[in-house]
Structure 1
Amino acid sequence: MTAAAAARQILTRLHDVMASRIHAQAKLDRVVEIIGETLNSEVCSIYLLRDGMLELFATRGLNQSAVHVTRMAIGEGLTGTLAQNMETLNLAEAKAHPDFQYRPETGEEKFHSFAGVPIVYRERVIGALNVQHVEPRRYEDVEIEALQTTAMVLSELIANAGLADDEEVLGRSAAQTGPETIEGLTLVQGLARGQAVFHQPRVTIDQVVAEDVEAERQRVYRAFDKMRDQIDHLASQAEFGAGGEHVEVIQTYKMFAYDEGWSRRINEAIDSGLTAEAAIERVQQRTRMRMREIDDPLLADRMHDLEDLSNRLLRIVSGQLGTAATQGLRRDTILIARNLGPAELLEYDRRRLKGVVLEEGSLTAHVVIVARAMGIPVIGRARAIRGMLRDGDEVLLDADRGIVTLRPSQSMLDAFEGRFAKSREKQAAYAELRDVEPFTRCGTRIQVMMNAGLRDDVAALALTGADGIGLFRTEFQFLVSATLPQRERQTRLYRDVLEAAGDKPVVFRTVDIGGDKAVPYLQSDSSIHDENPAMGWRALRLSLEREGLLKSQARALLEAASGRSLYVMFPMVSEPWEFDEAKAVFDEQLAYLRKLKRVLPEAIHYGAMLEVPALAEVLDQLVGRVSFLSVGTNDLTQFLFAADRANPKLAARYDWMSPAILRFLRRIPQSLTGYDIDLGVCGEMGGRRMEALALLGLGYRRLSITPAAVGPIKELIRKVDLSEITKAMTDWLANPPDDMRAAVNQWASERDIDLE
């Protein structure tokens, strides 16, 4: 029996039960019998969430005396665990699971196998549907599919009968009126104030079981056609920053809209007896469960795009059209959403949309790329925020610190407005330094460059007065694409960047993907699994193995820089031979273009990133090979301390002002004394005022930092005497103080240097 057939058989019988006049408890008693008989399962039980506890409400196979007696907390036992994680469990031996708890009153000791699915209503777990068997066995996929579909139908019955906790008990009380502060993850920096507007009015599904399967199928087909027309229109109407990476995001998003696998899964759900709306929601639930199991943030983001499309399709097929965007924003708005797709963000009026807060979201999400191009601050990972707000509540968004303030008091508003005003004043002061060259008090010119990764980022060169782009991350184009970017697309991007930069230098870092920046179209041998992906098969290691990848990029860079100076930097070089092999690829492509009599770059400067500590031990072997060297402080720090920066327990544990990292960083310029190698730092460390001061004292004269940090660092440089800070750093590293930060702060304050 197929999954659709099993589910259809159950749904057909459930339809009669739900239409009957018997009371809700009797209906549930009949439901467990139907499921047990159809799946030939000895036990079928329904647990419902009551007063915050999961209560056994109906059972076939367990002791009837346990009904309304057996209760467990969310997270307790197998049922509590699947409810907490909103995941399916399928166990051949239930007692072997670490969360198994024996409840003697149920009489379940003789049953070995266990399968359970959460009962979800409006994205919240309201119960669980379990089956058990005496014989140890895993349930077949068709049985699990049937259970999941049945659980969805049950959710409507349970919610309509008022059997489980309602939304207020589940934590969605609308009575919250006082101020509240939530911490999240900064996705796009900035400050914003506005009134909360929920992105998506909830689509209510009135009918779950289909009367006419073929009619439902035709409704879905028509909805798909309409949705695809909408996406095509959006793709052609994206008016901001023509040609940016956000355009590639929309193309990837468009690919999902035409994905046949997705439409096939919805059709299969309709075959099981669900209405068009219920089938879309069923597939969407499955997607959400898969997202919880995905560790790869890039693949999870692709799943978010699919969910965005599911929401759009559900609104079309149900006739409940419109998001807050289509209804129009009438006031300064902070948009609140669980997640948001790039196409949906494009629909909003940018004059009114001041900021976005997401319950989910990540730095690599497609919507973040679009928001950055639109200049809209975004905070993600603001857990459960939709349950803490009402439409129209005042919201303060501090995306510099990753803080959202709900319903602020007048004193909070005053403080925020003061900070907003101060921020504008500082920005104005920094803007005045745009055309001022950053000389120290002792007359030394420091190069202050900026990091970039998008075509649109280059505009910040003129706004900040940076000396150039010290790090252009070419991998962004690879990360947002559904397939490997063609050479012509790469060439067009690099040429556009060079033209936008004018006579200022741009250092292109060759692609740094793989490891913790995985892309689905460049997977390594499936038998190889990186337990520490940040230290694994990535960056130059991947490029040298996939030689076609580096050849294509080399050719694109060389052609884009025809008649100009080209700066190429190889990431994650561990030993000199890796640099030699990478440069040989460029030499080969250069010879090929010369043979074709193409216009070549007027000069090519090759450099390496020092982020693997091993390279510091062989710098003397790079002399004569590289013209510049950039220390990548982000990766260098995690490698030096064996601390994954993505691990929240470790991310803040190892300080850049630690004597260990500072001593290591001092060795690098000392070992290059007398050699003609331009040395700099590219990384977050150089963009922080205290850390930048320390780097100047260690001998670094070139910093490549975020555009927002250029003004503050230029202002700092003009207050520093290099001989003074060099002597201070030498003394501190010879005899480290107990608190390095306090010592540096005191030194700076004595010289009227603000390090905040």
Structure 2
Amino acid sequence: MMAAANAAREILRRLHEVMASKSGAEAKLGQVVRIVAELLTSEVASIYLLRDGMLELFATQGLAQSAVHVTRLSMGQGLVGTIAATREPLNLAEAKEHPDFAYRPETGEDDYHSFAGVPIVRREAAIGVLGVQHREPRDYDEVEIEALQTVAMVLSELIHGAGLVDDAQAARARAASSGPLRLSGLKLVDGLGRGVAVFHQPRVVVEHTVADDTDVERARVYSAFTRMREQIDTMMGQAEFAGGGDHHDVLDTYKMFAYDEGWARRINEAIETGLTAEAAIERVQARTRARMRSIDDPYLRERLTDLDDLSNRLLRIVSGQLGTAAKSGLRDDTILIARNLGPAELLEYDKRYLKGVVLEEGSLTAHVIIVARAMGVPVLGRVTDLFAQVSDGDELIVDAGNGALLVRPQAAMITSYEAMRDVKARQAEKFAAVKDLPAISRDGQRVAILMNAGLADDAQALDLTGADGIGLFRTEFQFLVSATLPRRERQQALYRTVLEAADTRPVVFRTVDIGGDKAVPYLQEGEGEENPAMGWRALRLALGRAGLMKVQARALLEGAAGRTLNIMFPMVSEPWEFREAKALVEGQRALLARQGHDLPAHVRYGAMIEVPALIEMLDVLLPLTDFVSVGTNDLTQFLFAADRANPRLADRYDWMSPAILRVLRRIVREADAAGVPVTVCGEMGGRPLEALALLALGVESLSITPAGVGPIKAMVRSADLGSLKAQMTGWLDAPGVDVRTVLAAAAAAQGVELG
């Protein structure tokens, strides 16, 4: 094949001539396959078009001409049908070994081994497929696949202009039935919402792909970049971001991509091959999306999501199609539909009408989730085929807590939703009534109900929920949403803000837990680990990067001046790690004292018990600590050797298993004997029945999500913990007892409120 740039440029030049000729549409397609076969040195080049719901061989160079208009495949059938159904390219050295291969003897393709194909897409629907074949087995270069995708863009324009495929027919081919539907997704922000479907941004349809003048197209892109950057700068200058904070950190990363010269260069290189500005942006965006699909790391995927969001913004500017749902304004209760959403774009919506967000992609680490949580908007993500199943204006119900989207709900579904909403409202009223009351059981036992947090805004939930304090403040959130290592002054300001919001209530700061699956671009250690949860992360990384930990230690000490500072170290595996971490903080404390800085009135040190090995060393660890916290999420996965992120294992191991309960009982007993208070953090403590089990083991302090404070407090106030403690001892000592079943029965007999 000729040099990459020259091949792409020559293909587009020749296609431009074909588009401008007076030949009929079928003749033009015949010319296209000959050009593709020649310039990609392919023995076969073929075009299939969607006709009457079937993919019909419409033009070919290399296959039997008698098969044209005869060979037909349904969506999802064969390699061609698979490409059309998934809208994803295929690159195969041995086509016949693919499980979806379908043999068509009339085409005469017996002698060909390798195959590469790409979808021809218009308005989010596959309207055809372009493929090439070779006799010899070979993998196609990325440059060749990109060249095919560029040709497919031009073909989309040609096919639409000639009326060979009806856009509406293509949309119907991938649309679901018009009846009610339930789609599953991932809970990103909990909550219920009902409204009509509004698409955040109907995709800009690129009508002209081949440039007449590349200099003009380059100037259009430069102008669009300037305007887009001005928009981002203006947004960051708005009053609500002037004081910094988490939202500002998110937008700062967003701005970094807007000014990325590498991105601009790739778009200009695409224009150099002969594409229009719009087609070049879309071509580079398609490559970004392909990379997103191949990257497992959630942090890197989120960075590419930001870039995808900016690509959409740039495409709207350069095409003049600037209207978004936010710009036109929401007038009714709305469920916003998007493939992905940038944080800046969500902030443009009127939250009075925004009742929910549903994303075809999305992840728990997405920047937009931070913003949505602050806005109080439920978000459901990872909804497969969202755009195929939902139409603009459809009535929707989002039940993010149960991971469900109800599309075009029937009357019974709406009634059920309204009942759920009423129940939640009544529960909220009940929890509000006990908000300011202590969590004291019926037999007089006091339980501390603390909350987990990670953002400056989260501290405001202390007053809203009636929590006794913050039992786990995840300091790594500030690191994860920042494009660079947060400076000491910014860290210090965050810690001071949180302590001031908490007032006299305790706050436990967990030192930074990054690395592993919480990768940040400015720390490259541990990349590509096979088992990131058990790798170079948390305290291991912090001790290995002493400079990072010293900066955080100074920020914590300065931010807590005049107050009590509670510092907790994550993922302690052996007592020496705790000693070393404590000594590092004490060294910074002594340094600040010598420099005359104001210091905390008291500093208390704690350890997270998450690694099973540490349980065997509690007799050595506990005398060194002022408190300990049990991280049930990591402790459970390490005990059972079960990756909690693996969906196949998500429900396999029960928190009410005697194995985990016996381990927790041992920790509580040894800590009590040493006079060291124990708090349980993690999801286990936020579930009423599981929390009741913890209290029956002797746990007296829980740190949970803010939403769980009310239900857990109500549960505590309705329980007789003394009798349950005695029963729990018997259950765990007797073999074969189903603790979940017997505890639920005992709670029901007591009338314990489990929600």
TM-score interval, smaller chain:
over 0.9
Residues 238 and 111 of structure 1: is their aligned pair in 2 closer, same or farther, counting only changes over 3 Å? farther
In structure 1, C-alpha distance between the alignment counterparts of 2:524 and 2:292, rounded to whole Å: 19
Q: Deviations over 1:9-29 (max 9, x none)?
A: 111211222233433332222
Aligned-pair CA distance for 1:499: 1.3
Deviations along 1:365-401, one digit per CA (max 9) or x if unpaired, are: 1111111111211111222233333333322222222
Matched with 1:678 is 677
- 1:628 and 1:172 mapped to 2: Cα distance? 61
Q: Does 1:641 align with 2:651?
A: no
Q: In 2, distance between residues paired with 1:382 and 1:623?
A: 46
Counterpart for residue 289 of structure 2: 288
Relative to 1, partners in 2 of residues 1:545 and 1:670: Cα closer, same or farther, differing over 3 Å? same
Q: Secondary structure at the match of 1:400?
A: helix
Correspondence list, 1:575-654, <5 A: 575-654=574-653
| Bigger shift: residues 595-604 or 392-401 | 392-401
Distance 1:393 1:58 in 2: 39
Alignment of 1:21-420 (within 5 A): 21-50=22-51, 54-72=55-73, 78-80=79-81, 82-83=83-84, 86-91=87-92, 104-163=105-164, 166-171=167-172, 177-237=178-238, 239=240, 243-420=244-421
Structure 2 partner of 1:516:
517
- 8 A contact 1:338–1:360 mirrored in 2: yes
- Checking the alignment, whether the CA contact within 8 Å between 1:235 and 1:247 is kept in structure 2 is yes
CA displacement at 1:745 relative to structure 2? 1.9
Q: Could you tell which deviates more after superposition, 400-409 or 544-553?
A: 400-409
The answer on 1:714 being equivalent to 2:710 is no
Identity %: 65
Q: Greater CA deviation, 565-574 or 107-116?
A: 107-116
What is the identity, as a one-letter code, of the residue corresponding to 1:434?
K
Q: Is the 8 A contact 2:188 2:381 kept in 1?
A: yes
Contact 1:238 1:346 in 2 (8 A): no
**Secondary structure at the counterpart of residue 449 of structure 2:** strand
Change (3 A) 1:396 1:79: closer
Cα offset, 1:79, TM superposition: 4.4
Distance 2:99 2:411 in 1: 50
Match of 2:434 in 1: 433
CA 1:228–1:609: 2 relative to 1, 3 Å: same
Q: Does 1:550 align with 2:539?
A: no
Q: State how far apart, in whole Å, the 2-side matches of 1:215 and 1:709 are.
A: 58
How far the C-alpha of 1:537 sits from its partner, in A, is: 1.8
Cα offset, 1:631, TM superposition: 0.6
Deviations 1:198-252 (A, max 9, x none): 2113322221111111111111111111111111111122627953312110111
* Cα displacement (A) at 1:68: 3.9
1:141 to partner: Cα distance: 4.4
Quote the offset at 1:271 in angstroms: 1.0
- Return the letter of the residue paired with 2:117: G
Higher deviation after alignment, 671-680 or 118-127: 118-127
Q: Distance in 1 between matches of 2:118 and 2:393?
A: 36
Alpha-carbon separation, structure 1, partners of 2:243 and 2:650? 36
User: Matched residues in 2 for 1:174 and 1:29: separation?
Assistant: 30
Which moved further from structure 2: 127-136 or 6-15? 127-136
Offset of residue 559 of structure 1: 1.5
The alpha-carbon distance between structure 1 residues 309 and 236, as it changes in their structure 2 partners (threshold 3 A), is: same
Deviations 1:693-721 (A, max 9, x none): 10011110110001111111111111222
Q: Is the contact between residue 112 and residue 134 of structure 1 (CA under 8 Å) also seen in structure 2?
A: yes
Q: Alpha-carbon deviation of 1:501?
A: 1.1
User: What is the identity, as a one-letter code, of the residue corresponding to 2:590?
Assistant: A
Determine the C-alpha separation between the residues in 2 that align with 1:322 and 1:663: 59
Task: Deviation per CA, 1:379-427: give whole Å up to 9, x if none.
Answer: 1122223333333332222222222222333333232222212212211
Note the residue ranges of structure 1 that are not aligned, 5 or more in a row: none
Distance 1:680-1:6 versus aligned 2 partners, 3 A rule = same
* Contact 2:53-2:173 at 8 Å conserved across structures: no
| 2:664 aligned partner | 665
| 1:480 to partner: Cα distance | 1.0
2 CA distance for matches of 1:17 and 1:299? 41
- CA distances 1:549-605 after superposition (whole Å, capped 9, x unpaired): 212211211111122111111111111122122222212212221221211211111
Change (3 A) 1:162 1:642: farther
| CA–CA separation in structure 2 for the residues paired with 1:127 and 1:728 | 67
- 1:111 deviates by 3.8
Q: Once superposed, what is the RMSD of the aligned Cα atoms?
A: 2.4
Q: Which 10-residue stretch deviates more, 316-325 or 44-53?
A: 44-53
> Shift of residue 257 of structure 1?
0.9
- Please give the TM-score of this superposition, normalised by the length of structure 1: 0.94
Looking at structure 2, the residues matched to 502 and 7 of structure 1 have their Cα atoms a distance apart, in angstroms, of 64
- Which secondary structure does the structure 2 equivalent of 1:623 belong to? helix
What residue identity is the alignment partner of 2:260?
Answer: D
Unaligned runs of 5+ in 2: none
